[in-house]
Amino acid sequence: MTEEWAAPPLDAPQRCLFVSDVHLDAAAGAAEQQFLQFLAGEATGADALYILGDLFESWIGDDALEHGTVLDALAALTAGGVACFALHGNRDFLLGEAFSRRTGCRLLPDPVVARLGGERVLLTHGDALCTDDHAYQELRSIVRSANWQRRFLSLPITTRQLLANEARAGSRAHTARAQPRIMDVNATAVEAAFRAARVRRIIHGHTHRPGVHDALIGGEPVQRIVLGAWYEQGSCLSYQDGRYELRALPR
């Protein structure tokens, strides 16, 4: 594990909400409706909302001017005084500064350590922990390079759309082919992350396997909280007064 897992912590407020993998898309109208209701409802009662990646099913650049309704809703939330933070997912890793300015959402590096109620907690999208998927990790290191991103963003929007559609089809085929085990986190990578970040709690998404996993590392209790995707229902983790609650949000 590299030094990025041991970055200085970010202080989080009292009442926080976490979501991940909303996968907003033109074809995901029900998820979008539910997420808009969430932003206008429950989220307004929080001090901060953390979006841990893959808010959008794809993001080909801030200049493509997609998802205006969601961007406006995020802007309304942050204008109302709720701090909003977003990590890049494997699908919307091109969210940039214009997205930030438009919505008031602050982009955070992945991973990042937040301090919640005095405890250091590691926040990450989760794809970097899925080290058994070698083909994906190879692709990840390519598309996360500044060079690749500069070249991609310089292409016309229609070309980028075409390439993104191809990439999504390729990703679907890969997911269908791969054994379920390799699409989950790797236990060794998880343990290394706990140790490198010196945390006892990790919150992530990406695997679409919501759950709370307790374990021991070096005799110390640790906990990994996994947020679910918003395909069939919503998924949300709330934090308040030292208590975490992972909930499914029925549609």
Q: Which residues bind Mn ion (CB under 5 A)?
A: 54, 89-90, 206
Closest to 93 in 3D by CA, of 184, 169, 10, 164: 164
As a whole number of angstroms, the distance between CA 59 and CA 51 comes to 15
CB of 61 to Mn ion, least distance (A): 19
Indicate the SS3 state at residue 55.
Answer: coil
Pick between residue 88 and residue 201 the one whose CB is nearest to Mn ion: 88
222 residue type, one letter: V
Shortest distance in whole angstroms from residue 247 CB to Mn ion: 20
Give the Cα separation of 13 and 74 in Å (integer): 18
Which residue of this chain has its Cβ atom nearest to Mn ion in the complex? 206
Two structure tokens written together for 150: 């500069």
CB nearer Mn ion, residue 89 or residue 111: 89
The distance of closest approach from Cβ of residue 139 to Mn ion in the complex, given in angstroms and rounded to an integer, is 13
Residue closer to Mn ion by CB (options 21, 62) is: 21
- From the CB of 115, what's the least distance to Mn ion, in Å? 25
Please choose, from the candidates 65, 84, 45, 17, the residue with its C-alpha nearest in 3D space to the C-alpha of residue 225: 17
> Which residue number, 27 or 216, has a Cβ lying nearer to Mn ion?
27
